[in-house]
Amino acid sequence: MKMWKKLWKKDETLPTIQEVISQPMIKTKGITLNHTWNDILQTHGQGKLHGVDYNTLKKIFGKPNIESGSGKTRKHWVVGIDGVICTIYDWKQGKSYRGYRPLKDATWNVGGSHNISLRLVQGVIDSHRIKEMEE
């Protein structure tokens, strides 16, 4: 909506398709951290990460930044990758659900505001792994 307000003022014609698509869709490039619960209201599950452990996620994204009030997750990150909100969490793997599963053996789920969220998170992890191998 803000984009339209910038392009269209009263007493002017609506912008053309070319004008609209020429505007950058990604407002924030790179990785942003420290998001809040409000940022994840329109997110939903996108898939699972395979072969990734808690320590790797902690190295890449820092300390988990969201506390679960429901107890359904023990660790939960909310990050923005190129303007797309992505969530990483261990869904229902605590003592109350499947017995105790150590964090090192947890299956990590990815949610997000767009269906590309899983690929963005996996891409960041893969980039980190490549950098580690080159060092």
Helix (H, G, I), strand (E, B) or coil at 117: helix
How confident is the model at residue 26, as a pLDDT?
46
Q: Which residue has the tokens 């809040």?
A: 36
How confident is the model at residue 111, as a pLDDT?
93
pLDDT in tens, 15-28: 565 665 555 444 55
Q: In which residue ranges of the chain is pLDDT below 50?
A: 1-8, 24-26
Distance, in Å, from the CA atom of 9 to the CA atom of 100, rounded to the nearest integer, reads 59
What are the backbone dihedrals phi and psi of residue 96, each rounded to the nearest 5 degrees, phi first? Answer: -75, -15
Identify the H or E element spanning 26. Answer: none
CB 54 within 8 A of CB 64: no
How confident is the model at residue 47, as a pLDDT?
92
- Whether the model clears a pTM of 0.85, i.e. scores above it, the answer is no
Can you list the positions of beta strands (E) in the chain?
Answer: 31-32, 44-49, 73-81, 84-91, 108-112
pLDDT in tens, 109-118: 999 988 889 9
How confident is the model at residue 14, as a pLDDT?
61
How confident is the model at residue 18, as a pLDDT?
61
